[in-house]
Amino acid sequence: MQPFPLSRRQFLGAALVTGIGSVSANRLAAGKSPEVNQPRATDGDQRFEPEWDERLSISVGPKSGDIVGSGDKALQAAIDYIARKGGGTVQILPGTFTLRNALHLPSGIRLQGSGPETIITKGASETVALSEDSDWYDQEITLEKSAGFQVGDGVVLVTKNLSNGSEDVIKRSLVARSGNRFKLDDGLRKNLWLSGKPTVSSLFPLLTSEYTKNVVIENLTLDGNRKNNTNLNGNYGGCIFLQDCNRYTIRNVTTRNYNGDGISFQICHDVKVENCHSHDNADLGMHPGSGSQRPLILNTRLENNHIGLFWCWGVKHGLAEKNQMTGNDFGISIGHNDTDNIMRANQINNSKKVGILFRDDARGKNFWANRNTVVDNEIINSGGDDGVAIDITGKTSDLTISGNKIVEQREPMQRTGIRIGAEAGTIQLADNQIQGFMKSIDDLRKTT
């Protein structure tokens, strides 16, 4: 006789009585997917991957390695090889590598140096005027003189925008030439008319990427040769410059001597910078750029830059913790719509102007750096005779400033511990130790 089939209700009842299927029933009730405990490499699945004992790797060195060379061509060849195979490690051996163009990083790569002995730098920059007009649809330029420019060079083209008077900046590579006439790797999409006084400069970030993800950069030194290079704005370059990237880790990296920023990332999410040293850059040591979400800046030294840590526009839900910021003009600067960030347990010493500045970004209805937390930091010796340790300007509101040690070890002079601007909103101050200032707290808001 065939067994009589159970209804769904009867089956679940029997399962619960016996204990059989109770885990499955609970999972179904909670709407949870089964856990992946034994992942397999599956075509197209980028979420789960086994922990392999060995991955593809290639080495590059000036005198030895799988690829031998000391310039960008050797390094980029190794990077492109690993990318073509689906990802892995490029091991850069000890030595100095001098670039004529940026290294472009693909997704899924680990760029791993051999410690401080691995140095990536660039030669001196040169700037030359253009001698012929180029339209926005052109893919070539003509220089007044070819000078030291070569095919393969990374360049920056700068011109005045004749429509609005602003400056247009275009990054390209030189890929072919006839005399002083060079082909570019991509079309212009901007006008380079002689009336705008266009120039070309041999400038580029040392490491760069756009629209990539899951990259690790570690254990190397990037030197921008600042004294021999003209300035490149941090919205276009730096020792490291990233645009529209996700999930980058930058670890044990020194970025120094760039005539611009040390590390700059724009509209990049979940970038983690840890145990790094960014120093003696002309502009910003660390530049979490416009729209970047959830940056983590941990255990990093930011020294002798114009600004140590610059939160740019719309940077949210970030954490800066246990960093040392010494000798910068501004230790930290935060402003335009930079909200819901935490600055915790940092040491901010000997800032030449202000320890922490909340900028007055009056460009819209509510674009100030609201809902940020400053907790358990040490801020020592900020600014000149009228220096301020924490300066809150504009209509900045909903700040929590607590548990900080704010100290002036020099003479009090006209110095202030915390200054709250006349238009500032709600500021919560609690358990701060403020010592050695003429004014511990200068609250300029009108009180009734």
Domain containing 158: what range? 127-201
| Residue 79: inside a domain | no
Residue 25 has pLDDT above 80, yes or no: no
> What is the number of domains present in the chain?
1
C-alpha to C-alpha distance for 426 and 206, rounded to whole angstroms:
43
Evaluate whether residue 190 is within a structural domain.
yes
- DSSP code per residue over 87-144: -EEEEEPSEEEEESSPEEP-TTEEEE--STTEEEEE----EEEBSS-B-TT--EEEBS
What does the chain come to in residues? Answer: 448
408 belongs to a structural domain? no
Structural domain contains residue 102? no
Q: Is residue 116 part of a domain?
A: no
Token pair of 45, please?
């699945």
Cα dihedral 243, 315, 309, 275 sign = negative
**What CA–CA distance (Å, rounded) separates 342 from 346?**
11
Whether 23 has a pLDDT exceeding 70, the answer reads no
Confidence band (pLDDT; 50, 70, 90) for 362?
confident
- pLDDT, tens only, 39-59: 998 888 878 888 888 889 999
Q: What is the pLDDT of residues 304-315, one digit of tens each?
A: 999 999 999 999
In a domain, 59, yes or no: no
**pLDDT tens readout for residues 123-167:** 999 999 999 999 999 999 999 998 899 999 999 999 999 888 899
Nearest to 60 by CA among 101, 18, 6, 120: 120
Cα distances from 81 to residues 67, 75, 105, 310, 339, in angstroms, run 11, 10, 12, 35, 41
**247 within some domain:** no
User: Is 352's pLDDT higher than 90?
Assistant: yes
Q: Domain holding 134: CATH number?
A: 2.40.30
**What are residue 392's phi and psi, to 5 degrees?**
-105, 110
Checking if the pLDDT of 19 tops 80, the result is no
Give the tokens for residue 432: 């701060």
172 assigned to some structural domain? yes
Burial (Cβ within 10 Å: 0-12, 13-18, ≥19) of residue 53: exposed
